[in-house]
Amino acid sequence: DVKVTQSSRYLVKRTGEKVFLECVQDMDHENMFWYRQDPGLGLRLIYFSYDVKMKEKGDIPEGYSVSREKKERFSLILESASTNQTSMYLCASSLKGWQETQYFGPGTRLLVL
Amino acid sequence: DAKTTQPPSMDCAEGRAANLPCNHSTISGNEYVYWYRQIHSQGPQYIIHGLKNNETNEMASLIITEDRKSSTLILPHATLRDTAVYYCIVRGGVNTGFQKLVFGTGTRLLVSP
C-alpha cells in the first residue's frame, strides 16, 4: 500500500509565523505535490517536484516555498503566515510520469489567527 | 482536463450497490477516467481508473460506456464507511504532459443503515 504521511493533522499558528508542513512517502515515488483545498474553490496546486532538489510552481505559489532534499520528503513552507492561508493542505505523490496516479496524505488543517 | 458532470448527492442503503454516474462527453481518446473519494476532513483516496475497458479492483468497479462519454462507479456492497464525496476526473494519458488534478464538486454519497 502506498503510504503518504503528513507531519500534523491540525495546526494553529499566528499571523507572521513561519510554518513548516512536512510530507513523507514510502513508495519511492519521484513526483510529489502540495495542494490546498478550500470550500467552493476545490483543489489548487501550490508546488510540485519531480526529483530531489527540483521544484516547479503550480497555480498559487505566492506566499509559499518548498524544499525537497530527499526523495521521500517534500516540505511546504509558509514564510510569513497570513489569515488567507487558513486551509486544508494536501500532499500527494506519484511515480515518474505525469499520467501516474497521485496518492494523497491525510491532510493538514491549518488555522492562522 | 475535460469537464465532468456528476449529481450533487445520492443515497444508498447499507449492503446495497451504490452506482455513481459521471458524464464526460468531451473526453479525448487518450484521456483516462479516474475516481477518488474524500471522507470528511481526510485526504482524497484513489479508488480506480480506466481508459476504455471496464475495470474492477478490491474497492469498486468502473463501467465505461462504449462511446466513452459516461461512466459509472459501482460500490457493490456499500457500508456506512463509504459515506464520502466521490470525484470523477478526466486526465490525459501518456505523453500528454503534466496533469494536475482538478476536482469538481463531486457526488456526496450518504449510506444509511
**What DSSP line would sit under A69-98, residue for residue?**
EETTEEEEEESS--GGG-EEEEEEEE-SST
The reply to whether A4 touches chain B by the CB within 8 Å rule is yes
The 10 Å Cβ neighbour count of residue A52 is 13
Complete edge-to-edge strand list for the sheet that includes strand B107-112: B9-13, B107-112, B84-92, B31-38, B45-50
How many whole angstroms separate alpha carbon A11 and alpha carbon B95? 39
Phi, psi dihedrals of residue A37, rounded to the nearest 5°: -130, 125
The model's pLDDT over B78-105, given as tens digits with 9 standing for 90+, comes to 999 999 999 999 987 655 666 677 888 8
How large is the average pLDDT for residues B15-21? 97
Per residue in A74-93, pLDDT (tens digit) is 999 999 999 999 999 999 99
In angstroms, the separation between the Cα of residue B104 and the nearest Cα of chain A is 7
Cross-chain CB nearest to A109 (options B41, B93, B96): B41
Residue in A closest to B46 by C-alpha: A103
- Residue B41: pLDDT band by 50, 70, 90 thresholds? confident
State whether residue A42 sits within 8 Å of chain B by CB: yes
The verdict on a CB contact (< 8 Å) between A98 and B93 is no
- What confidence category does residue B29 fall into, taking pLDDT thresholds of 50, 70 and 90? confident
Which residues 81-100 of A have a C-beta within 8 angstroms of B?
88, 90-92, 97-99
- For B98, the grid coordinates are 503534466
- pLDDT confidence tier of residue A107, bands split at 50, 70 and 90: very high
Residues of chain A neighbouring B45 (CB-CB closer than 8 A): 104
Is residue B46 within 8 A of residue B55, CB to CB? The reply is: no
Which of A1, A43, A87 is the best mutation test for B, with the most CBs of B within 10 A? A43
Q: B101: which residues sit within 8 A by CB, 6+ positions away?
A: A35, A43, A45, A92, A102, B36, B89, B91
Is A58 in the B-facing interface, judged by CB distances under 8 Å? yes
Higher pLDDT, A65 or A40: A65
Minimum distance, in Å, between the CA of residue A105 and any CA atom of chain B? 6
A45/B100 Cβ within 8 A: yes
In 3D space, the residue among B46, B51, B5 whose CA is nearest the CA of residue B26 turns out to be: B5
Please tell me the distance in Å from B55's CA to the nearest CA on chain A.
15
Q: CA-CA distance, B100 to A102, in Å (whole number)?
A: 9
Q: Average pLDDT of B44-48?
A: 95
Higher-pLDDT residue of B31 and B9 is B9
Distance from CA of B19 to the nearest CA of A (A): 23
SS3 A16: coil
Q: State residue B93's pLDDT score.
A: 63
The closest alpha carbon to A90, from A111, A106, A68, belongs to A106
